[in-house]
Amino acid sequence: MTSNPYPLGLRLHGRRVVVVGGGAVATRRVPALLDAGADVLLVAPELTPALRAQADAGRLHWVPRRFVPEDLDGAWLVQVAVDDSMAAASVSAVAAERRIFCVRADDRTAATAWTPAVTRHGPVTVAVLGGGDPRRAMTVRDAIRDLLAVRLAPDGIAGRPDAATGAAGGRQAGRVALVGAGPGDPELITVKGWRLLTEADVVVADRLVPGLLLDELRPDVELVDASKIPYGPSRAQEEINQILVDRALAGAFVVRLKGGDPYVFGRGGEELLACAAARVPVTVVPGVTSSIAAPAAAGIPVTHRGVAHEFTVVSGHLAPDAPASLVRWDALAGLHGTLVILMGLKNLAAITATLIAHGRSPQTPAAVVQEATTGTQRVLRSTLGEVAADLLAAELRPPAVVVVGDVVDALDG
Ligand SMILES: C[S@@+](CC[C@H](N)C(=O)[O-])C[C@H]1O[C@@H](n2cnc3c(N)ncnc32)[C@H](O)[C@@H]1O
């Protein structure tokens, strides 16, 4: 007769968990045990490279031999991750004798505990058991994960990220997250960035943020379009900083959504300092930066074995001879590697002329990638000597990234 399993959340912090086996199954099981703070003892003659790295880093104890009963001394749980069912049965027999729950990869019916399919959403952990069918458990888990990401935040299950830890009864303290939205394709936001976006009360978005991400916000979310703030760039930045601080001090969870990565020419640092000065807690969620993603989307790796051992990301928003420029274009001309120029279309003629004047060959391959990773992406391939003229002729426009270096042709068959 089979009866229903009894679900539990094991609090393993500092508690001994023995894992027997060092192959693929153990490789998948160990990270969650470490994440739970378990004191992991791994018993296996051989380890996969990933497990070996955990052992070398001192995150677990490895005994490089076969299992002996004494390995279970002091254990709260044992995971048997070996294919050999005789060996697995002997471990679970010792575990049963000592009343230690035993998970078995080789034979679920012989196990005294099952591992569920899990999804985590901030402080919420959902664990699904599929009645002995792991695939069914995973299908249900995936459906719940999607639901949590999109639907449950409005009703406050996830609520604000610190909802579970805030002071009882009172209004939650506000906070800000600086979130990188990625280069343009809405699917290129990170999982964490997306989760925080679904939890936001206020979203302050940049011009280059993928519109589809905003389309999916809850109707009650206040959306501030930072690109519509009047005044010049510096006054507008002050205004944005003020909005972040004011809304957070009023108790809101504010997501500042920025194109690419918040710290790559994104003024994220200034926003962080403004929040810190007002004692508003800030989380920074890195994003996929256009400086790497735009070349990649055009089939250009920023480094390539035997071709480029470095890449430099540089802003071209000031002309090389502008007094305020902080860029040593003469030094960049002497590098062999890849140069990725952001915000450089307007000054491209002056930039390429300066690079050539300081020694970079005019034959160096160059490319321009406009609106990368979006449905309107355009790619122009040229050379350092010609790219500025070709760009005008092709009527390319911002946002675009210019790539200079032999990597431009590296993947061409
Ligand atoms: C103010 S910077 C912000 C960069 C952003 N923080 C990042 O990490 O991608 C704006 C510049 O990024 C580049 N850029 C951003 N998105 C782009 C895209 N989808 N395609 C090409 N270039 C892009 C352009 O050079 C644009 O002028």
DSSP readout, 85-138? HHHHHHHHHHHHHTT-EEEESS-GGG-SB-PPEEEEETTEEEEE--TT-HHHHH
The per-residue pLDDT for 166 is 37
Burial (CB count <10 Å: 0-12, 13-18, 19+), residue 404? buried
pLDDT digits (tens, 9 = 90+) for 274-286: 999 999 999 999 9
| Catalytic residue flag (residue 206) | yes
> pLDDT tens across 243-255, in order?
999 999 999 999 9
pLDDT at 86 over 80: yes
Which structure tokens are listed for 14?
Answer: 């500092």
Report, in angstroms and rounded to the nearest whole number, the Rg of the chain calculated over CA atoms.
27
How many angstroms separate the CA atoms of 365 and 250, rounded? Answer: 52
Write down the catalytic residue from 39, 71, 201, 206. 206
- Angle of helix 24-35 relative to helix 49-56, nearest 10 degrees, comes to 40
Q: What is the total residue count of the chain? A: 413
- The active-site residue out of 155, 215, 220, 228 is 228
Pocket, ligand 1, Cβ cutoff 6 A:
183-184, 208, 259-261, 264-266, 289-291, 294, 342-343, 369, 371-373, 398-401
DSSP helix/strand/coil, 170 = coil
pLDDT of 215-229, one tens digit each?
A: 778 888 998 888 777
Residue 391 CA: distances (Å) to CA of 320, 363, 369, 382, 385: 19, 16, 10, 9, 12
Cβ-based burial of 372 (10 A; exposed 0-12, middle 13-18, buried ≥19)? buried
Give me ligand 1 centre to Cα 214, in Å. Answer: 18
Q: What's the pTM value of the predicted model, to 2 decimals?
A: 0.77
- The b-or-e profile of 101-128 (16+ CB within 10 A means b, else e) is bbbbbbeeeebebbbbbebebbeeebbb
pLDDT over threshold 60, residue 155: no
Six-digit token string for 75: 């254990």
Neighbours of 369 (CB within 10 A): 28
Closest among 385, 398, 404 to 307, alpha carbons compared: 404
Identify the H or E element spanning 143: helix 134-147
Confidence at residue 233, expressed as pLDDT on a 0 to 100 scale: 72
The two three-digit tokens of residue 351, written as one number: 């930039």
**What would the two tokens of residue 46 be?**
């051989």
Atom of ligand 1 nearest to the CA of 374: 19
Look at 33-37, 168-172, 313-317, 396-400 and tell me which has the smallest mean pLDDT: 168-172
Nearest residue to 404 via CA among 351, 339, 321: 339
For residues 296 and 80, give the distance between their C-alpha atoms in angstroms, rounded to a whole number: 42
CA of 220 relative to ligand 1 center, distance in Å? 29
The 10s digit of each residue's pLDDT in 190-205 is 999 999 998 999 999 9
Residue nearest to atom 7 of ligand 1 (CA): 260
- Please say whether the dihedral angle defined by the alpha carbons of residues 169, 171, 176 and 181, taken in this order, is positive or negative: positive
Q: Cα–Cα distance between 157 and 168 in angstroms, integer?
A: 16
DSSP of 392-406, one letter per residue?
HHHT--SSEEEEESG
Residues 6+ apart with CB under 8 A from 382: 365, 366, 367, 368, 390, 391
332 versus 231: the higher-pLDDT residue is 332
Q: Is there a catalytic annotation at residue 258?
A: no
Placement of tokens 């990234």 in the chain: 401
Cα 371 to averaged position of ligand 1 atoms, centre (Å): 8
Task: Provide mean pLDDT across the span 98-117.
Answer: 93
Task: State mean pLDDT over 250-268.
Answer: 96
332: helix, coil or strand?
A: helix
Which residues are paired to 102 by β-bridges?
78
Across 111-128, average pLDDT: 88
Distant-in-sequence, close-in-space partners of 252: CB < 8 Å, separation ≥ 6: 174, 201, 202, 222
